[in-house]
Structure formats: C-alpha cells, structure tokens
C-alpha cells in the first residue's frame, strides 16, 4: 500500500479546522490554536520531525536536555525555530525532585522559557510518575516562577494536590509512556476533568487516532502525543490522523453525545406502521 497523501475530504477538513480555530486552548494565559501538543522524541530524523510538526498543526512541542555531544549534527533548535512553534522543555529521565528542579532550571536558561513539562518518574520499567517527588518538585518550581505542566498518573486526588501547589495544567497519563495502550481508565480521566479548574492534557499512552479522540470526548482540553506519531510506520500520515481525531473529539464533546442505553431505542416512530393483513399473517 502506498503511504497516505490524502487529507480528509477538503470540505470536512475545512469545517473541522474552522471549528478548531474558533475554539482555542488557553494555558497560563497563553492561547494556542491547536489542541495537539507534539513530543519530539522517537523520530528517525530531524526532517521527519519537521514534517510531523508541520502537518500536526501543533504550536507547542516538547524538547529534552542531555549532556552536550560535540559530534551531534544538526540542531533541533534550528528545526523548531524554522517551524515557528513554542518549546516546552521536559525533565525526562529525572527520578528525584532535586534533579527535576535542576533540570528545569537548566531548561529555563537554555531555552529562555519558564514553562516546563515536569516529569519525575519512579522506575525505568514503568516510567510511572513518583507522586511524592512530583508534588515536591512542582511546589519548588512554582515558587521559583515556573509555569509547571506536570506529567501525572490518572489519580484525581493527586491532580488536586498538583492544582493546590499552583500547577498550570494537569497532564494525566492514559497508559504508560510509549505503551500505545490508549486510555486504561477513562473514568478517572473524566473525574480529573470534572474536578479541576485547570486545563487537562492527556499525556502518554496514545497509540492511534481513536485514543486521542476518546481523550477529547472525555473532556480533556488537549492531547500530547510523541511515540504514537514518531514511531508510526508513516509519521506524517499519523500526525494528520491524530490532528483530525483531536479536532473531531473536541467537537463531539461540545456537541453532547447521547447517553448509553442497555436496550435499543428506535429512531423511526412506531406510529403509522401499516398493517398489511391477508396472507398467513
């Protein structure tokens, strides 16, 4: 099969895009036209990453910090500057509040932004957040003037703690980072959305477009995606698919879905059914 070059039908794409444009995302007073945040990890090349950024429509993309490699060729900074998008540095790889705080401070210096995607993980097998270290780091960073977007579990009480210490958004996982398992506990994500005043960004676990649509239908304000796009067979096509899914899910949420019922409910009225008579009936 050839890789996908098609957009959704032009009329549908235009209508979705118009609906999305009229409904921007606001985090910490900053407004974004796109509700898809793109993680830049996992792309085979900077060119593939640049193309995915462009196609995704994302205006906020994550970057990480690692020790300088003098042999590194080509800079992600150039690609992101070229794309005209905002940077969201992360603290990936930090296991303690102390390391996460230092990493965030380095990111602020390196990128001249006080925004940080705060990750403090508990172990390298699950990459699940360490709740205790996470809240501690969040509190220190908020006090230090950071706009903190914490990667957290799908625990509504932990979300409340993060809101209490002054975070700017809640970013619950759907399932473990890079697992592609989708949203394991949609009920918790819905409860987090119901209980917090902050924007909720579904972060981690998205495997394909329908997962992103579900996140938005559950009421999330945005979706952050990395591996689902960067490790797809065709990152460009998946970028487009997830973009459309985020827009469709958002629209579906605001449209108001019908309730689930155990039994059928006919959409065609019973009144006026003809009775034909005759024969054996």
Report the catalytic residues: 117
State yes or no: residue 156 binds another protein (CB under 8 A): no
When asked if residue 75 is in the footprint of another protein (CB under 8 A), the reply is yes
Candidate list 17, 33, 42, 122; residue touching another protein; CB under 8 A: 42
CA 117 to chain centre: 12
- Assign 134 to helix, strand or coil: helix
Among 32, 43, 115, 146, binds another protein (CB under 8 A): 43
Q: Any contact of residue 90 with another protein (CB under 8 A)?
A: yes
54 to 73, contacts with another protein by CB under 8 A? 62-70, 72
Q: Residue 270 CB, nearest distance to another protein (Å)?
A: 54
End-to-end CA distance of the chain: 53
Radius of gyration of the CA atoms of the chain, in A: 22
Of 18, 21, 110, 132, the residue at the interface with another protein (CB under 8 A) is 110
Distance CA 27, CA 169 (A): 7
The interface with another protein within residues 179-198 (CB under 8 A) comprises: none
Q: At a CB cut-off of 8 Å and minimum separation 6, what does 228 contact? A: 180, 206, 207, 208, 211, 212, 238, 242
Contact present, 56 and 38 (Cβ < 8 Å):
yes
Compute CA distances 46 → 41, 42, 79, 178, 240, whole Å. Answer: 10, 10, 7, 19, 18
Closest to 106 (Cα-Cα) out of 139, 146, 56: 146
Shortest distance (Å) from residue 232 CB to another protein: 14
Q: Least distance to another protein from the beta carbon of 222, Å? A: 15
**Binding residue (CB under 8 A) for another protein from 20, 100, 111, 134:** 111
Minimum distance from residue 181 beta carbon to another protein (Å): 16
106 counts as binding another protein under rule CB under 8 A: yes
Query: Stretches 104-112, 136-144, 183-191, 255-263: which one binds another protein (CB under 8 A)?
Result: 104-112
> What's the half-sphere exposure (Cβ side, CA atoms, 13 Å) at 77?
8
Among 219, 166, 223, 195, which Cα is nearest to 28's? 166
Q: Six-digit token pair at 178? A: 């890079």
Contact 202, 37 (CB under 8 A): no
For position 126 contacting another protein by CB under 8 A, the verdict is no
> 230 to 269, contacts with another protein by CB under 8 A?
230
Q: Which stretches of the chain bind another protein, using CB under 8 A?
A: 39-43, 46, 49, 62-70, 72, 75-77, 89-90, 92, 102, 105-111, 177-178, 224, 226-227, 230
């Amino acid at each position: 099969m050839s890789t996908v070059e098609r957009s959704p039908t032009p009329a549908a794409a235009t209508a979705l895009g118009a609906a999305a444009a009229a409904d921007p995302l606001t985090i910490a007073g900053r407004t974004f036209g796109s509700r898809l945040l793109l993680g830049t990890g996992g792309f085979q090349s900077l060119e593939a990453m640049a193309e995915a950024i462009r196609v995704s429509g994302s205006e906020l993309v994550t970057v990480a910090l690692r020790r300088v490699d003098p042999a590194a060729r080509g800079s992600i900074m150039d690609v992101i500057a070229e794309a005209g998008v905002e940077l969201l540095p992360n603290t990936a790889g930090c296991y303690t509040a102390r390391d996460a705080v230092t990493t965030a401070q380095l990111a602020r210096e390196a990128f001249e932004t006080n925004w940080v995607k705060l990750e403090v993980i508990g172990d390298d097998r699950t990459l699940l957040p360490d709740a205790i270290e996470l809240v501690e780091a969040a509190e220190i960073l908020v006090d230090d003037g950071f706009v903190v977007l914490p990667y957290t579990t799908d625990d509504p009480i932990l979300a409340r703690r993060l809101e209490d210490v002054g975070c700017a958004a809640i970013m619950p996982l759907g399932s473990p980072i890079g697992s592609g398992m989708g949203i394991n506990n949609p009920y918790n994500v819905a409860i987090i959305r119901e209980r917090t005043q902050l924007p909720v960004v579904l972060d981690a676990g998205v495997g394909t477009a329908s997962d992103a649509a579900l996140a938005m239908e559950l009421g999330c304000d945005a979706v952050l995606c990395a591996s689902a796009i960067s490790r797809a067979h065709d990152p460009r096509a998946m970028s487009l698919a997830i973009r459309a899914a985020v827009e469709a899910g958002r629209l579906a949420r605001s449209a108001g879905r019908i309730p689930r019922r155990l039994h059928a409910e006919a959409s065609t009225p019973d009144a006026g059914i003809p009775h034909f008579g005759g024969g054996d009936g």
